Structure 1
Amino acid sequence: MNAFVLNRHGRMVFPSNVMPELDFSTVETLDQLDSVIRRDFETKAPSGTDILDKVRTGSYESRYDLMRDLALNLFWANRFSITMYDKRPTRWADVPRTRSDVFLPVLEPWEDGGTKVAAVESAYPSLPARWDADVEDGIFAILFDVFANRKHHATTLPAIKPTVAEFLETPGNLTFRLPHYDPDFPVYGYDDIVDCDEEVPELEALHRWAMVLHNQYPWDRGSVELAEAGQLKDDDYVVAFHPRDKEVRAFLRRLREAAPSRPASVAREPRPPVRPFPEIDVRQRFSVLPRLEALAAVHGDQVCSNEDLIRNAAYNWSPMSAEEIRDKTGIEQRRYSTLPLEELALQAAEAALAKAGREPEEIGAVLVCTCTSSRLIPSLATYLCGQLGIYQAHAAYDLIAACAGMPYGLAEATRLLQEVERPVLVVCAEKFSDKIGNVRPSRMIFGDGAAAMVVGVAPEGAGPDISYLQTYASGPASEVNSILWPNPEFDNNITVFGPQVKALAGRYLAQMIEELQALPDPDGRAGSLLDSIDLVVPHQANKTMVVQLAKQAGLRPDRLYFNIAAVGNASSASIPLAIHDAVRDGVISEPLRVFAPGFGAGAVAGYAVMQVDPAVVAVQAPAAPDRGGAEPAAPAPAAPTPASEDVRQAFG
């Protein structure tokens, strides 16, 4: 459910944003479930009383605003049934009485429900349409049919429903009673929901919400009533709740067994190192000097625009426009790939080897920098060796340094050169699109892509293309855990804690600039190494944030190159992708000295000061997105801590 699909209109759709599907394999306690439900369904949802008050005070400015509140209220009212159970209307005589996996909801009548329904019914036509009156009327009809026929109070609904035997222990318990049931009652199919097409992105998202909510009550809603257990007759239909999958059943078993919880470890107060870690002066430190023989890039083949995000707004997102996403992040679109991560990495590696004119038998080591690989055995690096036809290398392994992947990879490659004295292949590859789910900050920011570099041995007497290297790691635990994947508390999806990311990025950027100001220009052209830099190509984290932090560190924005507006944040691949695009776009048209700082998840960071010759870059023309492709393969299982408004902000 986490992967994107392309509907028949060629538009990108995220099914998990509208069809809730929690991963119960990671939920251990009711408190943990309550935290997730409260964050995703309750925090932004108004109660029926709230809606009534807003109607009476004239707080709704348009029909859309009213409908959005109705939908959020209905998602909240279905918060447990939509995530945990399948609802199956069943003839009372046929309901099993002793099974432990069949449940009946105990309901309370909706207080003042009629008053609230009447208020909404009268308010809607008095409000102006926001965009398209006809479309809005159609959506309202779906939503109001569900809202108007709600019989039960939603505030006190428990996650764990009583079994049928437990339900019958109290004759006065109320549950749904249907006098008849049509198994062919019309519902919206998966394709209907995915293929929903409205000109206005906000209405398209709301229309999908309405269809999903309609499907929660697939019966004649007007004939439903609440009946006591003792009043049920054999030919009445009740709505039996069944666990929706094996993970929900396993969760319910865990609750019954009540296994003791393990206490969480407490992080120690961080202490700075006894002395600073010096930057690596490549000329002084190493005898075998690195030369950048080739750089190649592979962008995602699908464009996900900010408008696409609005078309796919999830029920747990705050309202936000495409323009607000751009202003907050500097991103107008991000690139996703229909290819698996392995194929992205392989294509980049093959292109880099071809550009360098290198054969597999010449490669001494393969390094893959990634934080989104689901492959553990064999590692992605060793997998690439097999696919590339490398019979034997000195080393092949993956590096998890997230957004500092390229500096870490180049530092490691330079060290390996001393041992193997033959080219090292460094691949930076990421695929985030299938690991985000309905987490808005992550969906706003991350993209897919790969880049590969061949780092060879500089000719005798020549200087290195990489002159300085530096890597860092760690900080306060809050910064170390500022970006998490998998995150059980966000349904195993990748999550970003914006203020902590901003703190670590600012800390590292200031330290980097201080170091570069203290170092001499290795060629004697300028007063300091920083003064000698021709172009700064930073990790493409969030343009708005990076520009602000760069100013604070003393870097003018006009010295920085960004491609994030078009490709998003591709973590370890972001810097080499940006270098490729700077060459492609003519920003780098002659050999330049580039400062490439990276920083991110795990509170890791690093930089490379390197000479980039556009002649070694395998330039690819911008590819037109393929909007006619089939649904991508299902993503490999992903896996992602506590909620607050700060968590919901990308970078605040």
Structure 2
Amino acid sequence: MDKLGIAITGSGSAVPDTSLDNQALTALVETSDDWITTRTGIRQRRLALPAESLSSLATAASHQAIAAAGIKATDLDLILLATSTPDDLFGSACQVQAQLGATKAVAFDLTAACSGFVFGLVTAAQYIRTGVYQNVLLIGADILSRWVDWQDRRTCVLFGDGAGAVVLQASKSDRLLGFALKSDGSQNHHLNLAYAPSSQELVPGIHVTKGTYQPISMNGKEVYRFAIQKVPEIIDKALFQANLSVDKVDWLLLHQANQRIIEAVAQRLDIPQHKVISNLASYGNTSAASIPLALDEAVRQGKVQPNDIIAASGFGAGLTWGAAIFQWGR
């Protein structure tokens, strides 16, 4: 088989209709629109209502991506769902597969928090490069509002809900030009959504734990420090692997966590602001959804054009971080 490269041929996104602006948050915690905007760049975020599910958001984004790629759901060989907030702890990718009617596709979840989309992109590429699968749907989707402590003003101002998706297809020319991935579990305590142990005595002398989780816990200063150091480094590594200099990059597309992080990384890499994609102000931090959501918006606005070179980087809980350099389109 001669098609052993990958092309990213379509994108899609979906967000809940309900939005919560900074002013509304002042009723919940002691904060202000000015405080949130100057420190994070976030003005509002979308929130999934109880009737909305992760799989329905992921499916809506996927329909758009499949249509944009010009294929049918039945053409898909693999569905990868990057999420930390599935509807079902056993995984939600199979529900998306059923909702799409992608009868031929194998489906599974992949969890790497805010790095999930980049890790998923690299994973999907391996299946295509080895000739195993030709058409892969990669979704990044999270409903973080389920896991936020709305009384914790350090975290409740940051997160929002959404989904983004892309279709990757086998191609004669390889459009994934370079990548680098990293993990450091020793830093896990800085950002996590940890298991909350509680126990139950089954029979005398035998205690088992009950399944439940604590809300998101984050040390913002440490995560900020980690991001501005590690993200420029990993993008440099991926560019080196791609044999490209930074001036060849058309767009910098970072995980949408904080506008100050985005600006600091761009500055360190010497990438001008007009090349930086940011939609954080409207959606907040949507974890694995943030990169594909921002990408799809930029594609639909006509900013990102075929053959544009994009340097994408995700970073977050784990701690995990990674970068992928890819060319948009066939």
In 2, distance between residues paired with 1:532 and 1:334?
33
Question: 5 Å matches for 1:87-106?
Answer: none
* Equivalent residue, structure 1, for 2:309: 593
1:466 counterpart = 2:188 = no
Structure 1 position 514 matched with structure 2 position 245: no
User: Measured at CA, do residues 466 and 324 of structure 1 come closer, stay the same or move farther in structure 2, by a change above 3 Å?
Assistant: same
* Native 8 Å contact 2:55 2:87 kept in 1: no
> What is the DSSP-based 3-state SS (H/G/I as helix, E as strand, rest coil) of the residue aligned with 2:309?
strand
Match of 2:10 in 1: 294
- CA distance in 1: counterparts of 2:62 and 2:236, whole angstroms: 35
8 A contact 1:504–1:600 mirrored in 2: no
Any conservation in 2 of the 1:447–1:569 contact (CA below 8 Å)? yes
Residue 309 and residue 515 in structure 1: after superposition, are their counterparts in 2 closer, same or farther (change >3 A)?
Answer: same
CA contact (8 A) 1:330 1:544 kept: yes
> Structure 1 residue 301: deviation in Å?
1.1
Does residue 60 of structure 2 align to residue 347 of structure 1?
yes
Amino acid of the structure 2 residue aligned with 1:581: E
Structure 2 SS opposite 1:493:
coil
Mapping of residues 129-528 of structure 1, within 5 Å: 288-313=4-29, 319-338=30-49, 339-377=52-90, 379-393=91-105, 395-417=106-128, 418-438=130-150, 439-458=152-171, 460=172, 463-474=173-184, 477=186, 479-486=187-194, 488=196, 492-516=214-238, 518-519=240-241, 521=243, 528=244
Check whether the contact 2:41–2:258 (CA below 8 A) recurs between aligned residues: yes
* Post-superposition CA distance 1:30-50 (Å, at most 9, x none): xxxxxxxxxxxxxxxxxxxxx
Alignment CA distance shift 1:384-1:556 (3 Å): same
* Distance change (3 Å), C-alpha of 1:453 and 1:443: same
Q: Work out the CA distance in 1 between the residues paired with 2:277 and 2:7.
A: 23
Q: How has the CA–CA distance of structure 1 residues 309 and 487 changed in structure 2, closer, same or farther, with 3 Å as cutoff?
A: farther
Deviations 1:372-395 (A, max 9, x none): 124123x211222222223343x3
Alignment partners' CA distance in 2, 1:493 and 1:597: 25
Which whole-Å CA distance do the structure 2 matches of 1:405 and 1:383 have between them?
Answer: 19
Q: 1:351 Cα deviation (Å)?
A: 2.1
One-letter code aligned to 2:145: S
**Post-superposition shift, 1:336?**
1.6
Distance in 2, matches of 1:432 and 1:441, equals 14
Deviation (angstroms), 1:287:
6.2
Q: Deviations over 1:215-270 (max 9, x none)?
A: xxxxxxxxxxxxxxxxxxxxxxxxxxxxxxxxxxxxxxxxxxxxxxxxxxxxxxxx
Cα gap change, 1:456 to 1:502, in 2 (>3 Å): same
Gaps of 5+ in 1: 1-285, 314-318, 522-527, 617-652
Distance 1:396 1:513, change over 3 A: closer
Name the structure 2 match of 1:7.
none
Instruction: Note the C-alpha offset of 1:435.
Output: 1.5
Residue identity in the other structure for 1:430: D
What's the offset of the Cα at 1:487? 5.8
Unaligned runs of 5+ in 2: 198-212
Q: CA deviation at 1:600?
A: 0.5
Cα separation, 2, equivalents of 1:430 and 1:467: 27
Letter of the structure 2 residue corresponding to residue 544 of structure 1: R
1:532-561 residue CA offsets vs partner (Å, 9 max, x unmatched): 101101110101233124424544444322
Aligned to 1:258: none
The whole-number CA distance in structure 2 between the counterparts of 1:424 and 1:300 is 25
C-alpha distance in structure 2 between counterparts of 1:610 and 1:548, whole Å: 22
Distance 2:257 2:234 in 1: 17
Asked if the contact 1:519–1:529 (Cα under 8 Å) also holds between the matched residues in 2, the reply is no
In 2, Cα distance between the equivalents of 1:431 and 1:342?
10
SS of match in other structure, 1:440: coil
> Which structure has the greater CA radius of gyration?
1
Contact 1:504-1:603 at 8 Å conserved across structures = no
Q: Structure 1 residues 572 and 324 mapped into 2: Cα distance closer, same or farther (>3 Å)? A: same
Name the one with the larger strand percent.
2
1:499, CA displacement in angstroms?
2.0
> Is the partner of 1:454 in helix, strand or coil?
strand
Q: State the aligned residue count.
A: 311
Taking structure 1 as the reference length, what is the TM-score of the superposition? 0.45
Quick one: which amino acid aligns to residue 17 of structure 2? D
Conserved? CA contact 1:595–1:607, under 8 Å: yes
Q: What is the alpha-carbon distance in structure 2 between the residues aligned to residue 487 and residue 544 of structure 1? A: 30
Given candidates 300, 303, 312, the residue that maps to 1:584 is: 300
SS of structure 2 residue aligned to 1:385: helix
Indicate the percent of aligned positions where both proteins have the same amino acid: 28
> How far off is 1:441 after superposition?
2.2
Checking the alignment, whether the CA contact within 8 Å between 1:509 and 1:550 is kept in structure 2 is no
> Which of the pair has the greater relative contact order for Cα pairs under 8 Å at 6+ separation?
2
Deviations 1:99-125 (A, max 9, x none): xxxxxxxxxxxxxxxxxxxxxxxxxxx
Residue 335 of structure 1 and its aligned partner are, at CA, apart by 1.5
**Aligned partners of 1:342, 1:588: CA distance in 2, in Å?**
27
Letter matched to residue 367 of structure 1: L
SS of 1:443's equivalent in the other structure is coil
